[in-house]
Amino acid sequence: MPAPVIEVRDLHTHIVTRWGTIRAVDGVSFTVGEGETLGLVGESGSGKSMTCLSVVRLIPRPAARITGGAVLLDGEDLVPKREREMQQIRGRKIAMILQDPMSSLNPVFSVGMQVREPVALYHGLRGRRLTERATALLGAVRIPSPGARLRAFPFQMSGGMRQRVVGAMAIAAPPRLLIADEPTTSLDLTIQAQYLALLQELQNRHRLAMIFITHNLGIVSRICDRVAVMYAGRIVETGPVRQIFKSPAHPYTQALLESIPRLGDRRERLTAIEGQPPDLARLPGGCAFAPRCPHVMDRCRAEVPPQFPVAPGQVSACWRHAPA
Amino acid sequence: MTPVGIDPVSAERAAGTLAIPERAAAAAAEPRRRRLPVLSLGIIGLFVLVAILAPMLSPANPLDQSLRNRFKPPVWMEGGSTAHLLGTDRLGRDILSRIIWGSRVSLAAGVVTVLLASAFGAAVGLVAGYYGGRTDAVLMRVTDATMSFPVILLALILAVTVGPSFTNVVVAIAVILWARYARVIRGQVLTLMGLDFIAQARIAGAGAWRIITRHLLPNTLNTLVVLVTLQVGYVIIVEASLSFLGAGIPPPTPAWGSMIAEGREFVTSAWWASGLPGLAILLVVLAFNVLGDWLRDTLDPKLRQL
């Protein structure tokens, strides 16, 4: 197996709040290789976005702090880097696409100025060649008549268009790793499908490693190679997409999959997960999912379960899978 | 803050397909567009020209005294003459010439002070809003303290200790006035900071300087322009008040405020000595305020409270 583009090892990010210290990212590890897509799924507040912000070191300071672990980008640890060095890595090596296309572009500058900026910054281009490159980028994200669109302002574009422009800016370098934080949640379904296809196309062309944050399992099954399921700041299960959808091992993953409606399903009601998402400031000792778990055992409340292999490539952090 | 307006092309297209009654209804529902304040711009332009061309326009030396010609009335009144179109003051100085030269003081004080105050205040607001946390807390407490200090008092202190001068007037007002800019700009920056394009810029590797100058400042320019315009009028009033109190521009330099002060004992017999410079202040300040109001309504209707 080739060396991964990004390897996160036992990452811990803590946030200090009035209500106590929150372990937003609590010992997360994963790797993503060239051309591979990792889906990061979980409820709101499970630490998906925090994990990714920790990777690019843009966690809200001074409240949040990376307290341990390593983030290896092509073998180089980003955690001890200075802010200046990180600025050279952001955009050039790691790009990110955020959720809200309505506010992701600066309203006072034309699209052209905004697309030119990263190109000029990363490649030192100017004048005609810069404009050509910017036009090519807009063309690459399938914006019709890109040359004319350079003069448009964000408010003259639809949400889907703007999100394409953001995509164009993200691949300006092109980067090694692209993090997409629910980029399609505010797009309508047809545009969503187009955008996902576009992301895959860009990924294939540039051999990008991609992390796709979402809570839409349908999207995960469509575009991801592997999934990591997060719960309360920890990854509770990882594995190849088909494996996870076919035979989820962790009770939380099982519950998540049970709660999606399926075609041909004759059940009257969907199964909901009992109880509330945990209060991160007051996590129970042991497994964080224990209070809501149907299979809970005494051991779950006492000790945090480590990850146990359940199938090739699939691991689950559940005591039920502990080798006897 | 989405700019108000429609893509002209799509608007045309929409207009072509829309039924006529709907268009009429839409036009009726839309508030009437405020017209360009031509009069205000004209008045401001006129005074700016007058200030620049003062040496050429003024019919007499504003400092020349002539005790035999004291309190000559303006030309349209009985006893007035074309030698002094707006009459003379208690030392027989030509009032028109003094108003013309005085416009230099008022406009220069207004513009220079507001530029200094807005530049400094905007910088403080941008830094406070961008960095947040302790930086923000410290800067905003300083701002609050500054705002609670009366301008007139500071100017009087400066006048007494250092002596009155144009520089002191500008300094005294600017040193207090920046706080307003700092507050308003910081407020805007706080809303901007929550928007994705700032996060997106950071992710693209932009540093503090780049984000502040390329993303935050351009998005606060509307507010700045409105505030600057409104404040020029305010500063002209403050400068005139200071000159009126003798803490502003020292005599014999003609300034509108001190002209009012000098004529005030004789208002009943020679109203023009105080009244005409007062009218000049009124015209200029009113023009700036109307222009500022119009800019605010046109650029950003959300700023009504300024």
If you write DSSP's letter for every residue of A253-281 in order, what string do you get?
HHHHHHTS--TT---SSPPPPPS----GG
Side-chain-side CA neighbours of A238 within 13 Å: the count stands at: 18
Domain assignment present for B211? yes
Optimal mutation site among B2, B197, B300, interface A, most CBs of chain A within 10 A: B197
Kindly list the domain boundaries of chain A, sorted by start residue: 6-93+173-321
Using pLDDT thresholds of 50, 70 and 90, give the confidence band for residue A41.
very high
Q: Look at residues B121, B130, B137 and name the one whose alpha carbon lies nearest to residue B193.
A: B130
Q: Look at residues B218, B197, B193 and name the one whose alpha carbon lies nearest to residue A118.
A: B197
Fold of A6-93+173-321: Rossmann fold (3.40.50)
Query: Is there a contact between A241 and A226 (Cβ–Cβ < 8 Å)?
Result: yes
**Would you call A144 an interface residue with chain B, using a CB distance cutoff of 8 Å?**
no
Domain assignment present for B152? yes
Give the model's pLDDT for residue A40.
Answer: 93
A159 to chain B, closest Cα gap in Å: 13
Query: Is there a contact between B269 and B279 (Cβ–Cβ < 8 Å)?
Result: no
Task: Please indicate whether, in this complex, the C-beta atoms of B205 and A90 are within 8 angstroms of each other.
Answer: yes
Task: Please indicate whether, in this complex, the C-beta atoms of B197 and A96 are within 8 angstroms of each other.
Answer: no
Give the model's pLDDT for residue B302.
Answer: 59
Nearest to A96 among B7, B203, B221 (CB): B203
Give the model's pLDDT for residue A179.
Answer: 93
DSSP character at residue B27: H
A62 to chain B, closest Cα gap in Å: 8
How far apart CA A229 and CA A42 sit, in angstroms, is 6
Using pLDDT thresholds of 50, 70 and 90, give the confidence band for residue A184.
confident
- What are the tens digits of pLDDT across the range B73-126? 777 777 767 777 777 777 778 888 888 888 888 888 889 999 999 999 999 999
Task: Please indicate whether, in this complex, the C-beta atoms of A103 and B195 are within 8 angstroms of each other.
Answer: yes
Listed in sequence order, the residues at least 6 apart from A255 whose beta carbon sits closer than 8 Å to its beta carbon are A271, A273, A292
Residue B10 pLDDT > 50, yes or no? Answer: no
CA distances from A131 to A139, A145, A161 (A): 12, 14, 19
For residues A267-288, give the mean pLDDT.
76
**Would you call A88 an interface residue with chain B, using a CB distance cutoff of 8 Å?**
yes
A290 to chain B, closest Cα gap in Å: 35
Give the model's pLDDT for residue B17.
Answer: 42
Nearest to B204 among A62, A91, A156 (CB): A91
How far apart CA A198 and CA A200 sit, in angstroms, is 5
**Would you call A271 an interface residue with chain B, using a CB distance cutoff of 8 Å?**
no
- What are the tens digits of pLDDT across the range B123-171? 999 999 999 888 999 999 999 999 998 888 888 888 888 878 888 888 8
Domain assignment present for B203? yes
Task: Please indicate whether, in this complex, the C-beta atoms of B206 and A87 are within 8 angstroms of each other.
Answer: yes
Listed in sequence order, the residues at least 6 apart from B53 whose beta carbon sits closer than 8 Å to its beta carbon are none
A48 to chain B, closest Cα gap in Å: 17
Residue B292, helix vs strand vs coil: helix
- Tokens encoding A27: 């010992």
Instruction: Print the domain residue range for B237.
Output: 35-303
- What are the tens digits of pLDDT across the range B287-297? 888 888 888 88
CB count within 10 Å of CB B28 equals 7
How far apart CA B231 and CA B305 sit, in angstroms, is 14
Give the model's pLDDT for residue B128.
Answer: 93
Higher pLDDT, B300 or A22: A22
Q: Look at residues A144, A120, A145, A143 and name the one whose alpha carbon lies nearest to residue A131.
A: A120
Give the model's pLDDT for residue B183.
Answer: 93
Domain assignment present for B21? no
- Tokens encoding B275: 């009244």
* Backbone phi, psi, residue A71, to 5°: -125, 105
- What are the tens digits of pLDDT across the range B14-61? 444 444 444 555 555 445 556 778 888 888 888 888 888 878 877 777
Using pLDDT thresholds of 50, 70 and 90, give the confidence band for residue B247.
confident
Listed in sequence order, the residues at least 6 apart from B46 whose beta carbon sits closer than 8 Å to its beta carbon are none
Residue A293 pLDDT > 80, yes or no? Answer: yes
The order of strands in the sheet holding A94-97 is A94-97, A177-181, A209-214, A37-41, A226-231, A234-240, A314-316, A308-311
How far apart CA B154 and CA B287 sit, in angstroms, is 28
Nearest to B205 among A92, A105, A153 (CB): A92
Listed in sequence order, the residues at least 6 apart from A37 whose beta carbon sits closer than 8 Å to its beta carbon are A203, A210, A211, A212, A223, A224, A225, A226
Cis peptide before A174 (omega within 30 of 0): yes
Optimal mutation site among A54, A86, A90, A106, interface B, most CBs of chain B within 10 A: A106
How far apart CA A66 and CA A73 sit, in angstroms, is 16
Query: Is there a contact between B284 and B218 (Cβ–Cβ < 8 Å)?
Result: no
Residues on chain B bordering chain A, Cβ-to-Cβ distance under 8 angstroms: 1-3, 5, 7, 10, 133, 195-197, 199-207, 214-215, 218-219, 221
For residues A183-187, give the mean pLDDT.
80
Give the model's pLDDT for residue A11.
Answer: 92
- CA trace torsion A238, A241, A243, A248 (10° rounding): 60
Optimal mutation site among A59, A88, A108, A121, interface B, most CBs of chain B within 10 A: A108
Q: Write the CATH number for B204.
A: 1.10.3720.10
Q: How many domains does chain B have?
A: 1
Task: Please indicate whether, in this complex, the C-beta atoms of A108 and B219 are within 8 angstroms of each other.
Answer: yes
B25 to chain A, closest Cα gap in Å: 24
Listed in sequence order, the residues at least 6 apart from B138 whose beta carbon sits closer than 8 Å to its beta carbon are none
Nearest CA in chain B to A87: B205
Within its chain, how far is the Cα of B186 from the centroid? Answer: 21
Residue A287, helix vs strand vs coil: coil
Domain assignment present for B10? no
Chain B residues closer than 8 Å to A105 by CB = 197, 200
How far apart CA B84 and CA B75 sit, in angstroms, is 7
Q: What is the mean pLDDT of chain B?
A: 80
Listed in sequence order, the residues at least 6 apart from B20 whose beta carbon sits closer than 8 Å to its beta carbon are none
Give the model's pLDDT for residue B137.
Answer: 92
How far apart CA A273 and CA B123 sit, in angstroms, is 51
CA distances from B261 to A55, B108, B275 (A): 68, 20, 10
